[in-house]
Structure 1
Amino acid sequence: MKDPITADLVATGVKAAPSVTVATATVAGGISPNSILIWLTILYTALLLFSLVVKNWGDWMNWWDARSADLRRLWGWVRRRG
């Protein structure tokens, strides 16, 4: 991927997905020390993502501006074709 912010989001999702899946599965069976550790891992990952967003706020705003420009171009293309 060319866009570093999108790559960061994908990497974070890939890292958190196994923990979220296991934590969700263990909640049905009650609270155990393993599930507490998993939820703490999820919290830690979320805090890392939050610090990444805060630290790179200008890059994030540029990223959102680029995505909104892409959506405006797509919407203009759809309206011209219709």
Structure 2
Amino acid sequence: IEEDMVDGFPYEVPEEYRNLPLLKGRAAVDMKVKIKDNPNLEECVFHIVLDGYNAPVTAGNFVDLVERHFYDGMEIQRGNKSDI
């Protein structure tokens, strides 16, 4: 519903960032994660909503990396087990 309320992209991205991957809107990514440390669960799927309205450069960079399979096979990097 919120997306239907937005008529086009609400602002201009500064010139210095226009050559970077941008997401002008929202996107969703389903990320399948294999679980190594839990014998009761093999994998789970995270449904991630990317908000390009509020973070067009960050969201665009993430989409670009996903499309280039950057995260495929990568282990989740964390400080400690309670972070995830």
* TM over 0.5, shorter chain: no
Larger radius of gyration: 1
Return the TM-score normalized by structure 2: 0.24
TM-score, normalised via structure 1 length: 0.24
Name the structure where strand makes up a greater proportion of residues: 2
Q: Please identify which structure carries the higher helix content.
A: 1
